[in-house]
Chains A and B, each alone.
Chain A
Amino acid sequence: MHDANASRASKTLVPRTASAVLVNPVGLHARPSVKLTQCAKNFAAKIEIALAPDGPWTDAKSPVKVMRVKAPQGAMLYFRVAGSDGDAALAAVLALVHDGFGEA
């Protein structure tokens, strides 16, 4: 019972991280922030972003908080996801950044 719970917890709660460089010209401004939060909201996983590998972490599903990060072009954007669909979420947000949010 305890082992089963631990195994379930490790599957769903251990966060995975990845990073990508912001390539679009103005960085994470209003429109990309909206696209990122819309993308993040498609997943149940907790998704956070940061400008450094150790945070501080910002909820990627909050457009207001994402805009406040004010990540500029060229910045390394770090993602941390946790949840059963975390892998798919991570792939989706990274694809969005690589694609320059459709702007680059």
Chain B
Amino acid sequence: MSNSSSGNVGIVIVSHSAKIAEGAADMVRQMVGNAVPLAWTGGDPEGGLGTNVAGILEAIEIAWSPAGVAILVDLGGAETNSEMAVEMVPEDRRARVVVCNAPVVEGAVIAATESSGGSSLTAVQRSAEEFYA
């Protein structure tokens, strides 16, 4: 987990594998820099492969920015658990948290690049989703 405070859109990386999530976060930090709030979560609470809602909620909290948070996920449960976590975000923040339809590693780098330029949550999501466009 890592964070740096700024008004830029926050990025959350959710993978079934903690190593993938952490590695993707490393790529974001090295390629994009520290101007973007960033958090990652991966694996189930027992240390195996999986995702969990509590971990995702915590990551959203760490990466929180008034500009919002964009979540990048890998497969299946990462997406459904992320959607569940978004529903549990306090109501006044919920509309500013989105799950992107983008590949987790590339999407995280691109979303962070977009965010580092001060773009809106909508622009960050759109940029990440260009991968599947």
- In the bound assembly, the distance between CA atoms of A85 and B32 in angstroms comes to 24
Count of A interface residues, CB-CB < 8 Å? 12
Residues on B with C-beta less than 8 A from A34 are: 31-32, 109, 113
- As a 0/1 sequence over residues 105 to 121 of chain B, the CB contacts with chain A under 8 angstroms (1 = contact) are 00001100110111100
- Asked if B127 lies at the interface with its beta carbon under 8 angstroms from chain A, I say yes
Interchain CB contact (< 8 A) of B131 among A31, A38, A42, A64:
A64
- In the bound assembly, the distance between CA atoms of A7 and B32 in angstroms comes to 39
**B130 near A62: Cβ-Cβ < 8 Å:** yes
Interchain CB contact (< 8 A) of A38 among B117, B127, B130:
B117
User: Can you spell out 12 A-B residue pairs with CB atoms less than 8 angstroms apart?
Assistant: A30-B31, A31-B31, A34-B113, A37-B117, A38-B117, A41-B117, A62-B130, A63-B110, A63-B113, A64-B110, A64-B127, A65-B130
Chain A: residues with CB nearer than 8 A to chain B? Answer: 30-31, 34, 37-38, 41-42, 61-65
